[in-house]
Chains A and B, each alone.
Chain A
Amino acid sequence: MAQHVTNVSQPEEVSSTRRVIAASSVGTLIEWYDFYIFGTLAKIISEQFFPKDNPTAALLATLATFAAGFVIRPFGALFFGRLGDLIGRKYTFLVTLVIMGGSTFAIGLVPGYKTIGFFAPAIVFILRLLQGLALGGEYGGAATYVAEHSPAGKRGFWTSFIQTTATLGLFLALGVILVVRQSLGVETFTDWGWRIPFILSALLVAVSVFIRMKMSESPLFVKMKKEGKTSANPLAESFKEKDNLKMVLIALLGATAGQGVVWYTGQFYALSFLQNACNIEFVQSNMIISVALLIGTPFFILFGALSDKIGRKYIMMAGMLIAVIAYRPIYTVMYNEADLKLKTEIVEQKKVEVKSAVKGADSLITTITTKAFTDGTSFKETVKKKFPADPALKAALPKDKMKPETKKEVTLSKDLSIKMIGLVLIQVIFVTMVYGPIAAFLVEIFPTRIRYTSMSLPYHIGNGVFGGLVPLISTRLVEATRPGPGLPPADPLAGLWYPILIASVSFVIGSLYISNKTNNLDVE
C-alpha cells in the first residue's frame, strides 16, 4: 500500500496544530450545516419554489434534491481536488467555503414562485448545484490540510475532529430549525421564518472565512511546491496511473461505500423511519435524533484516537459488521415501541373533535381524534376533507379528488423516548466507528502531490452516491412490500436491505484487501 505523510511533531507546533484543527473544523461544520438545512427544509422549499402543478418546476425540485448529492458532489471533488493539488489546500477550501456560504445566504433571499414565477425554481436549482459543488471540494481539503499538520501517531485523533463536523452540522441544522420554528410558530415559519436559518449562514461563514484567512498553507504542500514536485495533472495521475487507481477503488469499495450507507442509515434513515414508519411527532423525532447525535459525537474522536493505536481497518470493519448484524433487531424494537397495536388504549380518554370551515369556494372539515395509552404514549390523528362548498360541484367531483388528507402523530412517553434515543445512539456509534478513522485512512493511502484529488472522489462517491441513495432506495424497497394502495407495508424494515447489502460487500472487500498497517505511516 502507498505510504506517505511526513509529520509535524515538534511540541511547540502543537498549539498551532490545534488552531489549524479548530479553523478547519468550524468551516467544514458550517458547510455541512448549509448543505443540510436545504435537505431538512426540503418540504417547505418545495412549496415555496417548486409548485407541483408546474411539471418543469417539479422536475427541477427532484434534480435539486438528487443532483446536488450525486452528480455535483463528486464533480466538485474532482474540480476543487485538482485545484487544491495545483495551487494549494488553503486557498481552495477558502473558495469552497465562500461559495457554499454565498449560495446558502442567497437561497434565503430568493423570492418565491408566486412573486417571480419560473425564475424562482431556476435560481434555487443553480444555487443548490453550487452548494453541492462546494461541498465536494471542502471535505478533502479540510481532511488533507489537518492531516498534513498532524503530529506523528496522532493523525487519526486530529482528523477525527473534521469527522465530527458532518454530524454536528446536521445537529446544528436541526437545532436552528427547531428553535426558529418554535419561536415563530409553525405558520410564520412556513411563511417566511424558514429563511432565517439560510440567512444566518452568512454570519457563520463570515466568521469562518476570517479565521481561515489567517491560516498558513499546509507545510507539506509548501515543501513540495518549493521542490517543484507538484503534480502537473492531478486528475490524470490519480485515475490513469494504475497504482493510484487501485487505491481509489479499494478506498471506494472497501471503505467509503460501506461507510456512506452506515452514515446515512444511522442518522437520516433513522429520522425518516421515526417520522414515517413510526409516525413519531415532528419535534419529538427531531429531539430524539439530536440528543443521540450530541451524545454520540465524542465517539468520533475516541475511535479516531483508537485507530492511531490499533489501526484504521479493524475499527472501520468492526463498525460495518456490527451494523450489518444489528440493524434489523434495532429497527424491530424501534418499530414495536411505537406500534399502537401493541399498546393498551385508555378508552375513556379518547376524544373526537370535528371542525368545519369555509375557505373561499371550498368547505373544509377537520376531524381530530386523540387517544391515550397505558404506557404514556399519546396519539393524534388529523383528517382534513376539502371539497367545493357548492353541492352541485361537490357531486360532480370524482371520488379520488375528495381523498382526505390524514396526519398521524405519535408522542411517546419520556421513558420510551429515552429508549429511542438509546437505539439511535447505538447506530450513531456505528457511524463513529466507520467514519471516525476514515479521513486518516484516506489521507495515508495517497501521496501529497495528488492527495486532495484522489481522496475526495472515493469519499464523495461513497458518501454521496451510495449513502445519499439510502432514503430513495430504502423507501422503494418498503413500498415494494405494500400489498395495495393505502395498506401498510408487509415489511416496514425492508428498506434496511440496501445498507445491509452494501455494507456487507464493503466489509468483505475491506477485510480482504485493506491493510491495517496504515496508522503512524510517514505521509510525504
Chain B
Amino acid sequence: MSAIKKIFGLLWAAMGVGIIPLVIMQAMKEIAAKPSEENYIFWSIVIVVLMPIIAFSLITFGVFALKGEYDVIA
C-alpha cells in the first residue's frame, strides 16, 4: 500500500506541475482567438484563483506522499 501511495504521489506532483503551462497556454490561445471581456474575466479567475490552489496543493501533497509522509495513515 505504501508503494502505491508513493507512486501516486509522483503522479499528483506531476499533475500539479503540468497544469501550470497547460492552463496558461489554453488561456493565451483562447484570449488571442477572442479577446473579449468575458474571456479575460474567466481566465483571470482560473489563473489567479484556481490554478495556484490546484498546483500548490497537488505538488505539496505529491511530494509528501512521495516521501512517505502518508504511510502512517493506514
- Are the C-beta atoms of B57 and A252 separated by less than 8 Å? yes
Chain B: which residue is nearest A476 at the CB level?
A: B42
Distance in angstroms between the alpha carbons of A70 and B50 in the assembled complex: 9
A71-B49, A249-B57, A469-B45 given; A515·B64 CB < 8 A: no
Grouping DSSP codes into helix (H, G, I), strand (E, B) and loop, the A interface class, with mixed when no group exceeds half, is helix
Contacts of A253 in B (CB 8 A): 12, 57-58, 61
Contacts of A62 in B (CB 8 A): 41
Determine if A203 is an interface residue (Cβ-Cβ < 8 Å).
no
Q: Kindly provide the distance from the CB of A62 to the nearest chain B CB, expressed in whole angstroms.
A: 6
Type the 1/0 row for B47-74, where 1 means its CB is closer than 8 Å to any CB of A: 0011001000110110011000110111
- Are the C-beta atoms of A246 and B70 separated by less than 8 Å? yes
Chain B: which residue is nearest A58 at the CB level?
A: B37
Determine if A242 is an interface residue (Cβ-Cβ < 8 Å).
yes
- In chain A, residues 450-502, which have Cβ atoms closer than 8 Å to a Cβ of chain B? 461, 465, 469, 472-473, 476
Quick check: which of A151-159, A169-177, A505-513 contacts chain B, the rest being far away? A505-513
Determine if A287 is an interface residue (Cβ-Cβ < 8 Å).
no
A246-B69, A249-B57 given; A472·B45 CB < 8 A: yes
- Are the C-beta atoms of A465 and B65 separated by less than 8 Å? no
Distance in angstroms between the alpha carbons of A362 and B62 in the assembled complex: 62
In this complex, how many residues of chain B approach chain A with their Cβ under 8 Å: the count is: 22
Distance in angstroms between the alpha carbons of A321 and B4 in the assembled complex: 20
- Residue from A1, A66, A472, A512 within 8 A of B4 (CB atoms): A512
- Are the C-beta atoms of B60 and A249 separated by less than 8 Å? yes
- Are the C-beta atoms of A246 and B64 separated by less than 8 Å? yes
Q: Kindly provide the distance from the CB of B67 to the nearest chain A CB, expressed in whole angstroms.
A: 10
- Residue from B50, B64, B69, B74 within 8 A of A469 (CB atoms): B50
Distance in angstroms between the alpha carbons of A250 and B45 in the assembled complex: 24
Contacts of A508 in B (CB 8 A): 8
Determine if A222 is an interface residue (Cβ-Cβ < 8 Å).
no
Distance in angstroms between the alpha carbons of A70 and B49 in the assembled complex: 8
Determine if A245 is an interface residue (Cβ-Cβ < 8 Å).
yes
- Are the C-beta atoms of B73 and A242 separated by less than 8 Å? no
Determine if A514 is an interface residue (Cβ-Cβ < 8 Å).
yes
- Are the C-beta atoms of A250 and B70 separated by less than 8 Å? yes
Q: Kindly provide the distance from the CB of B9 to the nearest chain A CB, expressed in whole angstroms.
A: 9
Distance in angstroms between the alpha carbons of A508 and B12 in the assembled complex: 11
Q: Pick the most buried of B4, B12, B70: most chain A CB atoms within 10 A of its CB.
A: B70
- Are the C-beta atoms of B49 and A249 separated by less than 8 Å? no
- Are the C-beta atoms of B64 and A249 separated by less than 8 Å? yes
Contacts of A515 in B (CB 8 A): 73-74
- Are the C-beta atoms of B8 and A512 separated by less than 8 Å? yes
Type the 1/0 row for B33-49, where 1 means its CB is closer than 8 Å to any CB of A: 00000000110011001
> What are the 8 tightest A-B residue pairs by CB atom distance, in nearest-first order?
A249-B61, A1-B73, A513-B70, A515-B73, A70-B49, A246-B64, A253-B61, A249-B57
> Which residues of A are at the interface with B, using a C-beta cutoff of 8 A?
1, 62, 66, 70-71, 242, 245-246, 249-250, 252-253, 461, 465, 469, 472-473, 476, 508-509, 512-515
Given A509-B61, A513-B65, 19 other A-B contacts at CB below 8 A?
A: A1-B72, A1-B73, A62-B41, A70-B45, A245-B60, A246-B69, A249-B57, A249-B60, A250-B61, A250-B73, A253-B12, A253-B61, A469-B45, A469-B50, A473-B46, A512-B4, A512-B5, A513-B70, A515-B73
